[in-house]
């Protein structure tokens, strides 16, 4: 059943639309599952299509538009005057499989990549000008490039590699244990908040914390409270309000399940690494580019925002996207 | 009441002895508290005394002896042929105030330093040849040097500085939240185990995890299980078996309460920093040495063991101790 009615029923002047496509998805660890692929497509008909995929908490609403004015998760990158200018490029994004919390099975990055191919079929898009993936999205992009090479011209893989690093896996495994500890007594929200707070430490850097949270701790009700705890409280609460526990667990696991042989990727890939990223060490990005042989090129940023640089260093990321995408005609 | 009967009642050939001293300790945040200071002293009478103090989970049993043959926590550093050779040096160590879990108040590193002075009084030790502190012990050593400068000749501060780094504070605050989440439903052991597992990630490095836990994850009972999880399970269980929850909470807080002005330290200090330490950034060690002006010297190690290098790179640590202590006559 294709429920992508938005595509055909919106008035022609509309530049952003949303829809949902029901597909039967053969999954690597869970057989064939019926899933709804929720997407958003912004930009003029006929323009080249760039798919943008973010971390596990990203979603289909990448940037604000007249139709959907709320702020998107990559609002500063998909905007007028940027390389990903929705006046000149069609930007496609989707909610990850399992992001709605209804699918409680192991999810592989290969499953997400196959879901993208089914979505492109449903939308009548033969080929992406580029797949811009960040974090989990970079992993999905590598799978997509390996499994559906005829469906994209270029992959930009930011802060994600051919494997999760074993240290980062351990960090995520403990986050999932925090959720499990909360679930033991139906304190699901408390467990998920703690997991998110630990995740925040992996996304950011000591440099940033040193600048922001240098105040001495206080003793409150006989307990020590550190300067960063207000920030961490807010980060946990904000995440819990929008994230089903099952979605977090299955997508967190999905990062750890990810493995791909770089030699299986036969399209051009720009790998963007961030020096100081505490989840994706530079050495893994270098190994990825080596495995890609002549098909890969490496760009390295240094940022106090670590793993989150894609969302924070938007001017520098845009320069990289310009070099890559304008070079191959995406936004010429 | 001085219960240090071991000192006088042991036969003279004994080279290791244990005792307990009851003192009234004026505490910075909790008034005067009665505490028992449990110590161990190993080495020949009349030899110079070196106090060795470790991380918050260290204790008075530093190394094996004929009298106490179980392995100590710094067994490879306090041994025949080492700079800290118990045939030539008296090695003193103590259980930290609050380590028994009976004192449920905020504990400052200044309190620990004052406890050391009271212990020296009780033992009739006028002056330490050196105070060798690692991690929390380095913080306590800095306080001791600032508050009781006449009681030591030299401080060796390894992997600890004049302040905890704000990022490390946040990491520990979240560990304490894991304990609190467990306590919500009387799953104290589960909470403490999770806290310890998160702490292990801060003590070690991605390099080590990359070498040891590179295997792909497995799907066990429908859930993803990472390669490091067996190791983390063991680390958690081992810690829970020997650590009261209250002791962990109060000593973890104590690290975060620590602050000292390096200018207040007027004895010679050797600061040992580990490049790659995820808790104590090199920049904080450099700032400490700068604040010590001519009284401080910096030694930098690079180690895949990060914060735990003191316990793992024992040959290199011993070389540093030799240069420092033999240079000032401690073990000549």
SS3 A157: strand
Residue B222 belongs to some domain of the structure: yes
Q: Residues of B with CB below 8 A from A181's CB?
A: 178, 181-182, 187, 190-191, 194
The active-site residue, picked from A114, A277, A308, A318, is A277
The reported pLDDT for the residue numbered B325 is 86
DSSP label of B280: S
Tell me: do A146 and A188 sit in the same domain. Answer: no
Walk along chain A (332 residues) in steps of 10 and give the mean pLDDT of each run.
Answer: 43 74 98 98 95 98 96 96 95 98 98 98 98 98 98 98 98 97 89 97 94 95 97 97 97 98 98 95 97 96 94 96 75 38
Any chain A CB within 8 A of the CB of B194?
Answer: yes
Closest C-alpha among B196, B223, B226, B225 to residue B209: B226
CA distance A323 to chain B (A): 32
CA distance A145 to chain B (A): 21
Residue A28 belongs to some domain of the structure: yes
Tell me: do A138 and A28 sit in the same domain. Answer: yes
Distance between CA atoms of A157 and A136, rounded to whole angstroms? 9
Distance between CA atoms of B80 and B70, rounded to whole angstroms? 16
Q: Residues of B with CB below 8 A from A277's CB?
A: none
Residue B332 belongs to some domain of the structure: no
Sole residue written with tokens 């709804």? A36
Tell me: do A90 and A112 sit in the same domain. Answer: yes
Binary contact (B177, A184; C-beta < 8 A): no
Tell me: do B270 and B239 sit in the same domain. Answer: no
Nearest by CB: A226 against B170, B209, B222? B170
The reported pLDDT for the residue numbered B7 is 46
Structure token digits, residue B30: 């909790």
The reported pLDDT for the residue numbered A329 is 44
Tell me: do B104 and B245 sit in the same domain. Answer: no
The reported pLDDT for the residue numbered B14 is 52
Chain A, window 32-91: residues with a beta carbon less than 8 angstroms from a chain B beta carbon: none
Binary contact (A259, B225; C-beta < 8 A): no
Domain boundary among A234, A255, A276: A255
**H/E segment holding residue A93:** strand A90-94
Q: Residues of B with CB below 8 A from A223's CB?
A: 106, 253
Tell me: do B268 and B224 sit in the same domain. Answer: no
Q: Each residue's pLDDT tens digit in chain B (332 positions)?
A: 444 444 444 333 458 999 999 999 999 999 999 999 999 999 999 999 999 999 999 999 999 999 999 999 999 999 999 999 999 999 999 999 999 999 999 999 999 999 999 999 999 999 999 999 999 999 999 999 999 999 999 999 999 999 999 999 999 999 999 999 999 878 899 999 999 999 999 999 999 999 999 999 999 999 999 999 999 999 999 999 999 999 999 999 999 999 999 999 999 999 999 998 999 999 999 999 999 999 999 999 999 999 999 999 999 999 999 998 887 544 43
Task: Spell out the alpha helix ranges (H) of B124-212.
Answer: 136-147, 166-183, 188-203, 206-212
Residue A218 belongs to some domain of the structure: yes
The active-site residue, picked from B65, B135, B254, B285, is B135
Q: For residue A219, give its domain range.
A: 166-255
Tell me: do A103 and A245 sit in the same domain. Answer: no
| C-beta separation of B286 from B275 below 8 A | no
The reported pLDDT for the residue numbered B328 is 55
Chain B, window 116-145: residues with a beta carbon less than 8 angstroms from a chain A beta carbon: none
Sole residue written with tokens 């979240």? B174
Tell me: do A142 and A223 sit in the same domain. Answer: no
Among chain B residues, the shortest Cα distance to A283 is held by: B207
The active-site residue, picked from B61, B148, B162, B307, is B307
The reported pLDDT for the residue numbered B82 is 96
Q: Residues of B with CB below 8 A from A171's CB?
A: 201
Tell me: do B28 and B122 sit in the same domain. Answer: yes
Residue A304 belongs to some domain of the structure: yes
Beta-strand ranges (E) seen in chain B are: 16-27, 31-42, 49-53, 90-94, 130-134, 155-158, 218-220, 223-225, 269-275, 296-302
DSSP label of A61: -
CA distance A187 to chain B (A): 8
Sole residue written with tokens 């469906």? A151
Among chain B residues, the shortest Cα distance to A190 is held by: B181
The active-site residue, picked from A135, A202, A285, A303, is A135
Nearest by CB: A210 against B165, B172, B222? B165
Any chain B CB within 8 A of the CB of A174?
Answer: yes
Binary contact (B169, A228; C-beta < 8 A): yes
The reported pLDDT for the residue numbered B5 is 42
Tell me: do A157 and A282 sit in the same domain. Answer: yes
Q: Residues of B with CB below 8 A from A167's CB?
A: 201, 205-206, 209-210, 213, 228
Any chain A CB within 8 A of the CB of B31?
Answer: no
Distance between CA atoms of A128 and A152, rounded to whole angstroms? 4
Binary contact (A209, B170; C-beta < 8 A): yes
Q: Residues of A with CB below 8 A from B205's CB?
A: 167
Any chain A CB within 8 A of the CB of B10?
Answer: no
Greatest Cα pair distance, chain A, in angstroms, is: 64
Task: State the total domains in chain A.
Answer: 2
Q: Residues of B with CB below 8 A from A197's CB?
A: 174, 177
Domain boundary among A231, A255, A279: A255
Tell me: do A129 and A208 sit in the same domain. Answer: no
CA quadruple A206, A211, A214, A220: dihedral sign:
negative
Chain B, window 272-311: residues with a beta carbon less than 8 angstroms from a chain A beta carbon: 278, 281
Tell me: do B17 and B76 sit in the same domain. Answer: yes
Q: Residues of A with CB below 8 A from B278's CB?
A: 206
A129-155 in b/e form (b: 16+ CB < 10 A) is bbbbbbbbbbbbbbbbbbbbeebbbbb
Residue B239 belongs to some domain of the structure: yes
Among chain A residues, the shortest Cα distance to B229 is held by: A170
Closest C-alpha among A229, A231, A211 to residue A219: A229
A135 among known catalytic residues = yes
B135 among known catalytic residues = yes
DSSP label of B63: S
Binary contact (A281, B206; C-beta < 8 A): yes
Binary contact (B177, A168; C-beta < 8 A): no
Other beta carbons less than 10 A from residue B308's beta carbon: 23
Please report the ipTM that was assigned to this predicted complex: 0.91
The reported pLDDT for the residue numbered A326 is 80
CA distance B43 to chain A (A): 39
Residue B92 belongs to some domain of the structure: yes
| C-beta separation of A142 from A118 below 8 A | no
Closest C-alpha among B254, B245, B307 to residue B56: B254
Sole residue written with tokens 């811009």? A132
CA distance A241 to chain B (A): 19
CA distance B187 to chain A (A): 8
**Residue B272, C-beta contacts closer than 8 angstroms, at least 6 positions apart:** B156, B157, B158, B159, B298, B299, B300, B301, B310, B317, B320
Nearest by CB: B224 against A165, A222, A257? A257
CA distance B259 to chain A (A): 8
Residue A144 belongs to some domain of the structure: yes
Any chain B CB within 8 A of the CB of A184?
Answer: yes
Q: What is the CATH number of the domain that holds B186?
A: 1.10.1740.110
> Which candidate in A226, A239, A258, A304 is best for mutational testing of the B interface (most B CBs within 10 A)?
A226
Chain A, window 201-220: residues with a beta carbon less than 8 angstroms from a chain B beta carbon: 201, 205-206, 209-210, 212-214, 216-217, 219
Sole residue written with tokens 């509309």? A14
B307 among known catalytic residues = yes
Q: Count of A–B CB contacts within 8 Å?
A: 154
Q: What is the CATH number of the domain that holds B146?
A: 3.40.50.1820
Domain boundary among A198, A220, A255: A255
């Amino acid at each position: 059943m294709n429920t992508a009615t938005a595509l055909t029923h919106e008035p022609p002047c509309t530049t952003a639309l949303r829809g949902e496509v029901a597909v039967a998805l053969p999954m690597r660890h869970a057989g064939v599952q019926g899933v709804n692929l929720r997407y958003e497509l912004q930009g003029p008909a006929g323009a080249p299509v760039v798919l943008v995929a973010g971390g596990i908490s990203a979603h289909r609403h990448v940037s604000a538009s007249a139709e959907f004015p709320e702020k998107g998760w990559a609002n500063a990158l998909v905007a007028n005057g940027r390389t990903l200018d929705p006046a000149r490029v069609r930007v496609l994004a989707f909610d990850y499989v399992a992001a709605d919390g209804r699918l409680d099975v192991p999810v592989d990055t290969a499953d997400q990549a196959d879901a993208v191919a089914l979505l492109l079929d449903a939308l009548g898009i033969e080929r992406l000008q580029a797949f811009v993936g960040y974090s989990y999205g970079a992993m999905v992009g590598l799978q997509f490039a390996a499994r559906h090479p005829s469906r994209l011209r270029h992959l930009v893989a930011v802060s994600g590699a051919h494997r999760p690093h074993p240290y980062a896996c351990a960090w995520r495994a403990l986050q999932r244990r925090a959720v499990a500890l909360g679930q033991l007594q139906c304190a699901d929200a408390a467990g998920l908040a703690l997991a998110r707070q630990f995740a925040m430490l992996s996304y950011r850097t000591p440099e940033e914390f040193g600048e922001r949270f240098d105040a001495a701790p206080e003793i409150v009700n006989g307990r020590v409270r550190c300067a960063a705890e207000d920030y961490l409280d807010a980060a946990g609460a904000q995440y819990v309000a929008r994230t089903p526990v099952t979605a977090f667990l299955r997508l967190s696991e999905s990062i750890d399940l990810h493995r791909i042989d770089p030699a299986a990727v036969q399209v051009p890939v720009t790998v963007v690494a961030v020096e100081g990223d505490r989840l994706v060490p530079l050495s893994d990005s270098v190994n990825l580019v080596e495995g890609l042989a002549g098909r890969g090129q490496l760009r390295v940023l240094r940022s106090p925002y670590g793993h989150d640089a894609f969302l924070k260093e938007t001017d520098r990321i845009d320069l990289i996207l310009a070099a890559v995408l304008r070079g191959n005609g995406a936004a010429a």
